[in-house]
Chains A and B, each alone.
Chain A
Amino acid sequence: MARIVILGAGISGHTAALHLRRQLSRQHDVVVVSPNSKWNWIPSNIWVGVGKMSKEQVTFPLAPIYRRQHIEFHQALATEIHPEGSSENPTPFVSIRYTDPLRESESATLEYDYLINATGPQLNFGATPGLGPDGGHTVSVCSAAHATEARARLDESIEVMRQGRRQTLVIGMGHGTCTCEGAAFEYAFNVEHELRQAGVRDLADVVYFTNEAELGDFGVGGMTFGQQGFETTSKLWTESLFRERGVRAVLGAHAERIEDGVIHYEQLDGTHHELAFDFAMLLPPFRGAGLKVFDREGRDVSERVFLPSGFMRVDAHYDAKPFEEWRASDWPESYESPAYPNVFAVGIAFAPPHQISRPRTSPNGTVITPAPPRTGMPSGVMGKTVALTIIDRIKMGGDARAHHASMASMGAACVASAGTGLRKGSAAAMTMYPVVPDYQTYPESGRSLKDTTGEIGLAGHWIKFMLHVMFIYKAKARPLWFLIPE
């Protein structure tokens, strides 16, 4: 009998749990620890943020699904990993603190044979003074609750415009090292769409505020598409959409601090500026979950397992080297911890070896570079891959070869909504292969020109909505859920 503990029930952790449970007999335990009681299809939060969906449409309670699937669920926060057990008992275990209202402030330990760290990000609003909805001056769409609040603030702004007063709406990134530029891009264009629907577009200045050096970077260094016999770039393509929709941009920006109605920021050229706003949705940078690791004697060995950012070291090449020497092979394939081979990290929890976009620093030494995205499709693929490795090792022995899923050999589809509506909706549908450029295989642009594509239209909106329906169906483990690819 084996016991697999999964920390986190987001896209990667939940995917891993469902695949493990489906392919392992009941004599094995699958245990999920998550501080949240609900699963959230985060890509649809932007629609909650403009009032096109309710919080209930993008979330559902995890406990009933896990009960039906015979997965043990603890609504709790993991605090410590003891991969060597204790001096009395060598069985590895994790320490948890319950967030379940019925067991609040209780603690417990859970023993494991295999551990998957899928804890996702800690939203680091504290990195920029004044950022965020809790005591700050900006809103967020990182969670369904945040998005609901963003929608209320947006409605207030629209109401002011209906009374004839101009408003400046700033949407983007709250720090120079943020990731998820795609989500901010989507929210900016959905807000712009809503302003037009509300008949107040002429009274709004919509500004996309980003750490990207160029539009269309999206944290992946931009894309080159093959289109009608020409190569074109995501930069040109995105700039065209900004021009068409009258959205302005501030590029290469690091928000230094935010006061009521003003963003103080530095740009890549080292200059400092202020941007006044009436409504601002700025995403925070991410940190790891802050887990501590202890050896058998109780010594803190967290630095052996985690990078200072709080993300877990896996089978990647972490040696520092210049951008020109970055290789696709630097990226992890099996997501195993080199320190403890029965421990894995997937989704945002694993430490990427370096950015995907070219790293940039201002003359003042401020890093202004998007962190690599590793959400959505790649997260689900990693979760499934690690689940398959563990299944093989349980069934065939601990030496079974690990399954591989490097972001340098994995494609991704990114459907960025630019407005909702069955007839009037629009989205930028992009595919890229691979996610991490591989200049050895694809010398021209690092990616396959045939498989890296982008187009804007109503079909993209239908796809985005279809993905919303399909992935919630899959996450609820409805009949034949496993036929839906990650």
Chain B
Amino acid sequence: MGAFDFLLQGLATAAEPMMLLYALIGVTLGTAVGVLPGIGPALTVALLLPVTYRLDAAGSLIMFAGIYYGGMYGGSTTSILLNTPGESASIITALEGNKMARKGRGGPALATAAIGSFIAGLIATLLLAFLAPWIVKVALVFGPREYFALMVLAFVTVSAAFGDSALRGLTSLFLGLALACVGIDQLTGQARLEFGVPVLLDGIEVTTMAVAMFAVGEALFIAGQRIHIDDELTAVKGSIWMSASDWARSWKPWLRGTFIGFPIGAMPAGGAEIGTFLSYATEKKLSKHPEEFGHGAIEGVAGPEAANNASAAGTLVPLLTLGLPTSATAAIMLAGFQQFGLQPGPLLFATNPTLVWGLIASLLIANFMLLVLNLPLIGLWVKLLTVPKPWLYAGILLFATLGTIGANPSTFELGMLLGFGVLGYGMRLFGYPIAPIVVGLILGPMAEQHLRRALSISQGDWGYLVQSPIAAVLLGIAALALIVPLILRARGKGEMLSQLAGDED
């Protein structure tokens, strides 16, 4: 069967009433968190991990993907109407979108953002569907050493390649790797780092860690920042629909934004923001009306909004085909797969095609839902901003605590949630990225297993790890990703590489 047949099968799964309900909940929650500044999809998915523990795996994952897509849609609303980006990927939208709104063209700005997001999401999801089987075919020949090399590459790119400080990123990563060693050794059955505490023999629960770092730590950090939105909301005047000229000026930026955002989203540590800035710069260069940029050019909204949605689908390419998270939300989604005993990667396409293709197809449906939800309900989304912030943060902490206790009813688990939550807050406060610690905890045991298997095959010969061309290339790229930024920093260009590893979207 080809990708198209699998996609049709997936559509049949995703169109089941319960799956549609999960997708609707996901996109609604996603849009809401996208609208609210400071709260992102990573935090929301982390918060929902323990709650979905006993639910249907496919439904939960469809909901998580809906949150991710919805977050990208929702961020543009406050960017355009309030000049306050709900998401970091919507910063550039505020530049032209708010100027359009102030000129009484808020409707077309919101429309080009929503339709551009829809088209980009649609094309990028189809690209994901048709590219994934090819990558899976390549990945199926991977042995333990290739997988180990792939994980080393993931570790380096997420923690050190674009980090403000490679040391901080690597510290966070090694903390995660150390925590991953806690519990019973899967190969020898020996207890490790359990310090005589029997509960620790089961290891550190990834879900608890993810909730603590991304929900508790982030909520404390955002609450500590005292975000105030005191700007006046720009009312949407006139027609919400785009004129013929708006359509003519938008369709090319939508397409270009899609093809810029998708590969950057798939790139390790790429994130959605780089694509939006690149798309803006490209549109300004190619526009027939460059003088309008900075005064409300519709191309400056259409391109970046398409780019940020395409990047979300791009992120799912390495996650689903190789099991590699390239952003914080992807890392949390990986934890989501693992809580249902699933391991994303080439084998998942063979062992659980209904789930994988159902998930991919659900993105197409989520896109339609988002288009319908976003434009007519703008007033409702903007009202969310009136929710008092202390209520919101208290709600997040309460939900995180109840969810964790519900999934693992023990005081020890609650203690871990609070302890790691405070650690996450401290790390954010002192500029340590939190994505590497979670990636280390999730991928650490797999990397260890593959390394030990490879060394067993080679009877302890470490040279075996670089004797495969694929593994050698992957390790070479990882070494370059570690060394080149150090050289650039030494030459005083370090600022351009800072903190991308900690991409929280």
A binds B: no
List the interface of chain B (C-beta within 8 A of A).
none
